Structure 1
């Protein structure tokens, strides 16, 4: 097991353990994943050549229910990364009180270099390789970095072919026509928006007086930027993997999205239908965006974006982790000393897994909800668990990250202890 990302992720528990009466048995169980699978996926390329891709699936814990977690396609995917993400998913599911454990999957690939036909072969090949490891009652897949509803549809279809029965509940984030849920595409952004809306008023931080920078302008970051701008937040900077744009007086986010979707690049523009006029802005790097003097910083890209190397450069008052693990444990300590409030990924980006749960329930019941119902249920869930986490933070005088882990550990501990612990068996003698 690598001593990199997973070792760092595990450190997040240390502070929480001082506040949770957790059994030794539970701690031992949470130190290791329940099961890990590494597979080789042969894919016939469009030019007739054969390529072999490395794939992974980790089911970290299933004490509270089936494993649940996304599948990402990215060149940096490794077993260490997937295991870390599955670890975080375990706590995220418990924090939101969902009947799931934690799992994650991925393929080491640059999907931008593949044709759509090659992507389909790769996606179906992945399911071919892991079909015995997953299932609606065992481990449920979902979209993640560089995977989308089309890919989820291919995966669900191929699993159904293998098992010879229609199994929509094995995958969430599918197209609506294949049993997907209303609101799933926007769920992570909506959940983050509801959490931000619940938290910032506690600091008397009003939208019109709040500047925001968002690193990551993919599906989640772009939707969240638009939601925040719509209610009056001044979104002054956004970026993608190529870099970002900054406009001191705020960006017209719908226009930036329109321009990026049309041409693949970002500029600060104002669009009136098909006509876009460039407005004053400057180009910035992702590193410069993270260091901007703004009220709210939202990392919505990949993990380890803020480390001990750049934590002292951060000027934002509040950081909301929409990406998984964007801040490492060493940077956490620096940010805390600087008085910066960090709101953790396992809470802030939990909207995705929450609406995935809704989709799973709808698939199994055959009853489907409209978008208003989905968003109302999501808002209620995010508001409830955000408030509970906040109260724990205030009660113990700890950060919101530590409070989130305390809250999740309490639920995980109760479930694991229900199976029997050393104390139970010793007292029966």
Structure 2
């Protein structure tokens, strides 16, 4: 099996087992955490504009609700699998635990290429999906949000459908929705902003001057572009960006504002004419200070990791590094900011949105950004302290911090007592 095809659910279970063992916890903890408490698979019939009836498969996984309602995005992608959704729900639980949010992890996905649907078909698919999963979601049960190929517009359709079914407005059902119907200031940029906060903290650990640093970014969607914008504001010179269309490189640094405007106009990265072209593999091998995978899973592998020269790898994407790739980077002394810490800014501000919906009182963006910064710095410090205490890598340290927090809640609720699982 190619490392690019590694099952993310197998990877996350392996990391959970290693971390439970390293913490000296009973193996029963691993068995509690290794699979979601609930998984729903649904079929979504949809009449296309050509008159044909298509039937799409979709999933919603809810990992554990010991800390609060489950929370996590919905992705539309042709490669969505049940195991991917399970893995992502576990990662969401760990993210929330690392940040110390009163939430569990959830995730949803529809097997579809949204580029093959027109707007009417996409809206109907979105509404149909919410109708199918309505029995298991709600602001006190499970709170969806945007993810790959979904956005505030899609969230608006979904919450509208849910409200119609319930007969009244329930803004706390979904986060990442348009601001006018209860969305939060700062949510769109939250993941990228959080990525940059963790990069800044890692640079402080390494005594790296960011105003003299260089970076390369894989992926230039919402997260990649926001990360580029905030890094640029800190003086980091971004020399390369790649996406599905191709890649661009400029040794003196790309004009990030011009690139963002280029993409906002519906153009692709490869057609940006103010830079040279570069392949994804060559971008990964550039002698930059910071490498940011912000695209899809399984990109840093046994094949690509040996060529990486970056001092910091900041995982803005979920699961971009395979276990083999991670081992190679750690052996080289690369400072890895693992995904469940690095990209947790999104769920953090989603939590703020949910809180504001519950209060029916909304915060200014300055407050949102300040609260996000405080939580991200505290989480980074907890993970780095665990790394030093256990003399392990940042990834295992992040898992151990998250697991510790969940186990504390399990004990507080009486689920476990000195390893006794009779309460389950």
Q: TM-score, normalised by structure 2?
A: 0.95
Find the partner of 2:403 among 359, 384, 409.
409
* 2:20/2:29 contact within 8 Å kept: no
Distance 1:329 1:425 in 2: 32
Find the partner of 1:308 among 279, 302, 327.
302
Q: Which residue of 2 aligns with 1:272?
A: none
List per-residue Cα deviations over 1:185-223 (Å, max 9, x = no partner). 111011111111122122111112211000000011011
- C-alpha deviation, 1:149, in angstroms: 0.3
1:264-413 counterparts in 2 under 5 A?
264-266=267-269, 278-279=273-274, 281-413=275-407
- C-alpha deviation, 1:263, in angstroms: 4.5
Task: List gaps (5 residues or longer) in structure 1.
Answer: 270-277
1:19-30 counterparts in 2 under 5 A?
19-30=22-33
> What secondary structure is seen at the aligned counterpart in 2 of 1:98?
coil
1:97 maps to 2:73: no
Q: Which residue of 2 aligns with 1:44?
A: 47
- C-alpha deviation, 1:26, in angstroms: 2.4
- C-alpha deviation, 1:411, in angstroms: 0.6
* 2:144/2:174 contact within 8 Å kept: yes
* 1:23/1:421 contact within 8 Å kept: no
Distance 2:293 2:74 in 1: 20
1:23-422 counterparts in 2 under 5 A?
23-266=26-269, 278-279=273-274, 281-418=275-412, 419-421=414-416
* 1:64/1:99 contact within 8 Å kept: yes
Distance 2:163 2:76 in 1: 22
List per-residue Cα deviations over 1:305-337 (Å, max 9, x = no partner). 111222212221210000000001121111111
Distance 1:13 1:287 in 2: 30
Q: Which residue of 2 aligns with 1:275?
A: none
> What secondary structure is seen at the aligned counterpart in 2 of 1:69?
strand
* 1:71/1:142 contact within 8 Å kept: yes
- C-alpha deviation, 1:244, in angstroms: 0.9
- C-alpha deviation, 1:182, in angstroms: 0.5
List per-residue Cα deviations over 1:356-399 (Å, max 9, x = no partner). 00000000111110110100100111011111211111222211
Q: TM-score, normalised by structure 1?
A: 0.94
Q: Which moved more, 1:252-261 or 1:119-128?
A: 252-261
* 1:141/1:171 contact within 8 Å kept: yes
> What secondary structure is seen at the aligned counterpart in 2 of 1:11?
helix
List per-residue Cα deviations over 1:96-125 (Å, max 9, x = no partner). 100001110000111111111111000001
> What secondary structure is seen at the aligned counterpart in 1 of 2:56?
strand
List per-residue Cα deviations over 1:154-191 (Å, max 9, x = no partner). 11111111122211111000000110010111110111
Distance 1:334 1:165 in 2: 53
Task: List gaps (5 residues or longer) in structure 2.
Answer: none
Equivalent residues, number = 418
> What secondary structure is seen at the aligned counterpart in 1 of 2:402?
helix
- C-alpha deviation, 1:261, in angstroms: 2.1
Distance 1:317 1:304 in 2: 20
